[in-house]
Structure 1
Amino acid sequence: MKRQIRARKGFQFLAQRLYIFINSFSVNISLVHILQITELPSSILHQRFLLSLLHCYRNMASNEVEVDDKAEWSAKNEGKFIRILHEHVKKGDMQTSTFKKKIWNEISDELFAETTKRYLVPQLKSKFNRLRKKHREFSDLIEHTGFGWDPIANTVTASEEVWATYIKRVSGVKPYRKKGLEHYEILGEIFNTSTATGQLHYASI
């Protein structure tokens, strides 16, 4: 069991370094480049294994494959991630509905500096998209007829009948019966950027 854990950690470390290298420079790299960047002799890992790993991360870098990493996000780390996103939005770094590659790399480094946990760019984008979905669902919920929201207590009020009917249609809002979406207003400033980005940028000057 301990050997399997060590092997898994070793693979994760290698995979992380590979992705950072690919994401920072180019997806057009060879096996020789991999061995150079990881400083590992070719005899340590089988060549086919390395090529398979390289193929996987080429896909991640070029196709932006979404990563399912829900279990890896603590509430504390999520809060720090949201704050970092908000700071970049205030600086005007979100040009459309997302950030450019350079900014995502900066966000990854900033989050690592605060949490000592390395989240890869695809993981950050995946979390970003989930937060956007949650914000949209919660916005629709509190704007729906029959619902009320107390922003101070962050609680949603509605009759049992209204809740039951709405949850049948949108099951993802069920947790909000106990407590509203955390960081809702800050998320609104992040995702409602079509009108807010410029205002946030000038307000921070």
Structure 2
Amino acid sequence: MAPKGEGIVEWTDQLEEALIEIMVDKFQRTHTSSWKWKNWEQMNTELEQKFPGVTLGADKLRAKSRRMKSQYSQFTELIQHTRVGWDEQTNTVKASPDIWDKFIRRHSNFKIFRAKGCKHYEALHLLYRSATATGGLRISSTEPPKSPRSYARMEEQFLAGRNSRGKEPIDLEEGSGDSDDAARELDDPVVTGSKRRVRKRGSNTNSQMQELIDLYRESMNRKDKGKIST
């Protein structure tokens, strides 16, 4: 029998979806996706029980998680572009050919989004949202309108700046973002150097997290109803 993690694994849609469901369940109980090694081993055991005969290993689950995190970051960057439209109900992305060309030149992964969108975006958003930067090309409605030349220059700087850090928008090196320490909630008031008291952040963070969990559950319920009706 091959050691854990050495077998070739084909990540089918069913296997990937089962892993995401297990990760979301773990996230709802731990409020973090920076899990310890024992947590990955627990999730691996649960996944292998659902798919008898499939040998995975905690290392393969972590590697898959890093790839999904990169996918989430790239797709979020895409749909945050002001000239890109996304219909989350049909999971389709609309953009002009020149915009697609610019993104695809930077990384071939965007070809997949053009054809298939991002199937599990709601779940990935729940798991990885804190790792994604805000869109560099989003323009506030309160800002004065920019000239076409200014916008084109800003767009080129945005795409060139992202590309200068490499093909992947996030660091995928082993251990990157995989702290063994669970995220700590800030329940105590934060005090600045001037002793000025500011509002608590822990309760607000919890409410935002619960809102995301509720939105994810609603999305999954809609998908389940759609499957039943068909």
TM range (shorter): 0.5 to 0.7
Give me the whole-angstrom Cα distance separating, in 1, the residues matched to 2:12 and 2:205.
28
Letter in 2 for 1:100: K
Report the TM-score, using the length of structure 1 for normalisation: 0.60
Where does residue 182 of structure 1 map in the other structure? 119
* 3-state SS, counterpart of residue 129 of structure 1: helix
Which of 75, 83, 91 is residue 29 of structure 2 equivalent to? 91
Distance 1:167 1:193, change over 3 A: closer
Where does residue 38 of structure 1 map in the other structure? none
Q: Report the Cα offset of residue 125 of structure 1.
A: 0.5
User: Does the alignment pair 1:132 with 2:69?
Assistant: yes
Q: How many residues of Structure 1 are paired with residues of Structure 2 in the alignment?
A: 140
Where does residue 198 of structure 1 map in the other structure? 206
Q: Of Structure 1 and Structure 2, which has the larger fraction of its residues in helix?
A: 1
User: Does the alignment pair 1:146 with 2:146?
Assistant: no
* 3-state SS, counterpart of residue 152 of structure 1: coil
Give me the whole-angstrom Cα distance separating, in 1, the residues matched to 2:45 and 2:55.
8
Distance 1:75 1:182, change over 3 A: same
Where does residue 14 of structure 2 map in the other structure? 76
Give me the whole-angstrom Cα distance separating, in 1, the residues matched to 2:210 and 2:40.
19
Within 5 A, what are the aligned runs for 1:1-205? Answer: 10=1, 12=2, 15-16=3-4, 72-92=10-30, 94=32, 97-116=33-52, 117-192=54-129, 198-199=206-207, 200=209
Give me the whole-angstrom Cα distance separating, in 1, the residues matched to 2:68 and 2:59.
14
* 3-state SS, counterpart of residue 148 of structure 1: strand
Q: Report the Cα offset of residue 197 of structure 1.
A: 7.5
Distance 1:103 1:84, change over 3 A: same
Contact 1:85 1:107 in 2 (8 A): yes
Distance 1:187 1:91, change over 3 A: same
Give me the whole-angstrom Cα distance separating, in 2, the residues matched to 1:137 and 1:68.
28
Contact 1:108 1:119 in 2 (8 A): yes
Q: Report the Cα offset of residue 193 of structure 1.
A: 5.1
Letter in 2 for 1:113: Q
Contact 2:27 2:127 in 1 (8 A): yes
Distance 1:144 1:68, change over 3 A: farther
Contact 1:89 1:201 in 2 (8 A): no
Give me the whole-angstrom Cα distance separating, in 2, the residues matched to 1:101 and 1:165.
39
Give me the whole-angstrom Cα distance separating, in 2, the residues matched to 1:184 and 1:75.
14
Where does residue 62 of structure 1 map in the other structure? none
Q: Report the Cα offset of residue 173 of structure 1.
A: 0.8
**Deviations along 1:1-48, whole A, 9 cap, x unmatched?**
xxxxxxxxx4x1xx23xx8xxxxxxxxxxxxxxxxxxxxxxxxxxxxx
Q: Report the Cα offset of residue 105 of structure 1.
A: 1.3
Q: Which runs of 5+ in 2 are unaligned?
A: 132-201, 215-230
